[in-house]
Amino acid sequence: MRHGNDPTKRFSDHADAYVRGRPGYPTAVIDQLRDWGALPDGAVVADIGAGTGISSALFLQAGYTVCGVEPNKAMREAAELRFAGTPLFASINGSAEATTLADASVDLIAASQAFHWFDPQATRAEWRRILKPGRQAALIWNDRELDATPFLVGYEALLQRFGTDYHQVNHKRIDVPIISTFFGTSPRIAAVPYVHRCDRAMLHSRLLSVSYVAKAGEAGFDAMMAALDALFDAHQQDGAIEFLYQTRIYCAPLAP
């Protein structure tokens, strides 16, 4: 079933592929946020749009308490399974615009690979409510290199060919002026390189984790997967290919 542009339902059928195929985030993100004073010792982090817990894992591994806020049931349950028995993780059925968290209860709000799905005005009001005074928010994206290698050129061409509403939902439509308007100030910006190495099965899952390509049984699915396999065969080395990313971080307090 297709769910249009409703982000709370759009990924319901993609949780398993998300777990198997999506990249993590470099630990340099934690270092940068600490350097900026955004992650004090003992911080409580609200991970908004936490999905299956990929971004939550980054903060948990660094020793922080994480409230993983996720409106999609299938994605949220995947995170709950992943972090079962982890006392620093709390799973929250909420959204960016209505987190259900208490007033002034978190030290950092982080949204990784998610802000482009939010309603900015309602999100801003909610985030100002739950942030402790003087604390900050961070928007984080793994920004895939489009033409750094022949494989990446081919992968982008595949998305252009087989994607349904690829351009409409691409996070790259969110630029610095939009982000600055959201924060109410010019955020600090950093970018760190990141490499995600995939074997064939992971590459399949990576593609099928996105919401803008055909699913099994739909028109174009078989041709898309054949093209993906041909791309892998043409560029794999030692049974794997590499996605190259710049992980971009935007961080600031939310101005009144």
In a domain, 42, yes or no: yes
Q: Is residue 8 scored above 80 in pLDDT?
A: no
Containing domain of residue 73, as a range? 15-144+170-193+245-252
In a domain, 132, yes or no: yes
* Domains of the chain: total: 1
In a domain, 68, yes or no: yes
In a domain, 85, yes or no: yes
Most confident of the following: 10-14, 173-177, 246-250: 246-250
Q: Is residue 2 scored above 60 in pLDDT?
A: no
pLDDT band at 1 (very low <50, low <70, confident <90, very high): very low
pLDDT score, position 3: 41
Choose the weakest-confidence range: 5-9, 23-27, 52-56, 145-149. Answer: 5-9
> What CATH number does the domain containing 63 carry?
3.40.50.150
Q: Is residue 4 scored above 50 in pLDDT?
A: no
What pTM did the predictor assign?
A: 0.88
In a domain, 4, yes or no: no
Most confident of the following: 9-23, 140-154, 203-217: 140-154
- Please identify which residue in the block is written with the tokens 């990313």: 245
In a domain, 181, yes or no: yes
In a domain, 81, yes or no: yes
Q: Is residue 12 scored above 70 in pLDDT?
A: no
In a domain, 6, yes or no: no
